[in-house]
Amino acid sequence: MICLLPHCAYLSETSRMLELHRALTDLGLPVRVATHGGPHERFLAGIPYDVLGPGLSTTRAARFVGSAVGLGDPRQSMYDDDEIRSYVQAEAEYFKAHGIKVAVTGFTVTTLLSTRLAGVRLITEHAGSFVPPVFEKRLLPAPTHPVDPRLRRAPKWLSRFLINRTVNRTTSYCGGFNRVAESLGIEGVPSLAALLLGDLSLVPEVPEVLGVSAAELAAWTPKGRVGYRPSSRLTAVGPLFAHLDLPLPDRVQKFLDHPGPTIYLAMTSTPPAQVRAAIASLGTLDVRLLVAGTIHDLGDLASDRIMIEGTLPSHLVMPQVDLAITTAGQGSTQTAMASGTPLLGLPLHPEQDLNIALLERLGAARHATPTTNLATLATEMLESPSHRDAAVQIQKLYAAVDGPAQAAQTIAAYTEGS
């Protein structure tokens, strides 16, 4: 039996687990779904699932997101020790009660311990492209928001050198997990890099974008390297992004059908003040701006040229716009590229820095920082056809790969061998 554990504080992690659920179900495999709950739990409504623990309130989910890797203080672990212990024990009991052989998760990182407690194998996908061979090839850019506060004033060359060299040597965000692991007598988490890896980590990207071949990923092992669990392995599966089962409202379609340039702003899991600042800057342009406000209340910013909506099916929106602006999570970057739409990224943490850097290297995207004039950069991108041409080339690469199907086949084979 396979168990999927989406972290429903994140729309991206919830939607990727839904993609895997569909693909695994198509293979006829038995799958259970369990979650800690959260504001995006509602998207699980079409499938049976269980909530472990009290359920994450919207307030607690927002605090979790704000304390996560790259955003919160690296001396904490997103949960307090009692929360970690409670979730680990609840997950382990659930795995045993339902005969789970393999757990698959998107940033429900307590599974790093609960799978050890229950003797279950763990598959992850939430590292995305942020995996060891990328560090070892020195492909990580200087982070916009350094995990180590001491690097905030460092020159870019030094910051880039150190992040590529130290991800598997720093224990940032790991302290609580290791205290609980020690109390339970199970294997801990030796580094930040290990916090993002399972026994098998799915790498949902094509080699041409990642800059690392599938063979190199498959050949990588922790042997002779520090900071990793000995069981960690990697495998390439291709793009894995959301196709939310939501209709595109008629009012939105009419907005998109209007002539003239249109920008799609979808900054999910972002503090509302940052979203408002982006809207204020982009609102100075003579463009139409469609905003996926998700859980934020932004209705007061609406105008005849600015439409504020909630959660939208981005895979239906992005093919119809001239520019997408997101925080460059892998889900949104891949949705944009699968649509042949250029992307402007405002990353919040190192994994998102990497996603936008990989696309920028190929000419399909641009990177913004907190001090960037969004209106100026968006205008430059709208006026340059080269960004769309590059995005269309990546679109062709993505069209040749069925990421969810490859991921499901990999999970099935791994489960049979467990």
Cα(2)–Cα(34) distance, integer angstroms: 11
Amino acid at 409: Q
Across all residues in the chain, what is the average pLDDT?
93
User: pLDDT band for position 270 (50/70/90)?
Assistant: confident
| Of the candidate ranges 13-17, 135-139, 158-162, 389-393, the one whose mean pLDDT is the lowest | 158-162
pLDDT at 208 over 70: yes
User: pLDDT band for position 203 (50/70/90)?
Assistant: very high
Is residue 231 exposed (0-12), middle (13-18) or buried (19+ Cβ within 10 Å)? Answer: middle
User: pLDDT band for position 148 (50/70/90)?
Assistant: low
* Highest mean pLDDT out of 95-109, 154-168, 265-279: 95-109
pLDDT at 206 over 70: yes
Q: Which two tokens stand for residue 15?
A: 């939607």
Output phi, psi for 114, to 5 deg.
-65, -35
pLDDT at 219 over 90: yes
pLDDT at 157 over 70: yes
DSSP 153-178: TS-HHHHHHHHHHHTTT--TT-HHHH
User: pLDDT band for position 156 (50/70/90)?
Assistant: confident
pLDDT mean over 282-286: 92
Q: So what's the pLDDT on residue 150?
A: 63
Q: CB under 8 Å to 192, separation ≥6 — which residues?
A: 69, 147, 167, 168, 170, 171, 172, 173, 174
Q: CB under 8 Å to 123, separation ≥6 — which residues?
A: 102, 103, 104, 105, 198, 199, 200, 201, 202, 411, 414
The SS3 call for residue 345 is strand
| Of the candidate ranges 150-159, 346-355, 403-412, the one whose mean pLDDT is the lowest | 150-159
Q: How far is CA 174 from CA 113, 227, 266, in A?
A: 12, 12, 30
Each residue of 68-81: pLDDT tens digit?
988 889 999 999 99
Q: So what's the pLDDT on residue 372?
A: 86
Each residue of 387-405: pLDDT tens digit?
999 999 999 999 999 999 9
Q: So what's the pLDDT on residue 4?
A: 98
Q: So what's the pLDDT on residue 299?
A: 67
Q: In percent, how much of the chain has pLDDT > 90?
A: 77
Cα(63)–Cα(310) distance, integer angstroms: 20
Is residue 48 exposed (0-12), middle (13-18) or buried (19+ Cβ within 10 Å)? Answer: exposed
pLDDT at 24 over 70: yes
pLDDT at 146 over 70: no
Helix (H) or strand (E) holding 106: strand 102-106
Beta bridge partners, 32, equal 3
pLDDT at 38 over 90: yes
pLDDT at 297 over 80: no
pLDDT at 28 over 90: yes
Q: So what's the pLDDT on residue 396?
A: 97
pLDDT mean over 10-36: 95
pLDDT at 295 over 80: no
Cα(341)–Cα(364) distance, integer angstroms: 8
DSSP 235-250: EE-------------H
User: pLDDT band for position 332 (50/70/90)?
Assistant: very high
Q: Any idea what the Cα angle at residue 79 is, between residues 76 and 83, rounded to 5°? A: 140
User: pLDDT band for position 296 (50/70/90)?
Assistant: low
Q: So what's the pLDDT on residue 369?
A: 85
pTM for the whole structure: 0.91
| Of the candidate ranges 49-58, 144-153, 190-199, 285-294, the one whose mean pLDDT is the lowest | 144-153
pLDDT mean over 308-315: 89
Output phi, psi for 292, to 5 deg.
-90, 95
Q: So what's the pLDDT on residue 276?
A: 85
Buried b (16+ CB within 10 A) or exposed e, 63-102: ebbeebbbbbebeebbbeeebbbbbbbbbbebbeeeebbb
pLDDT mean over 106-132: 96
Q: In percent, how much of the chain has pLDDT > 70?
A: 97
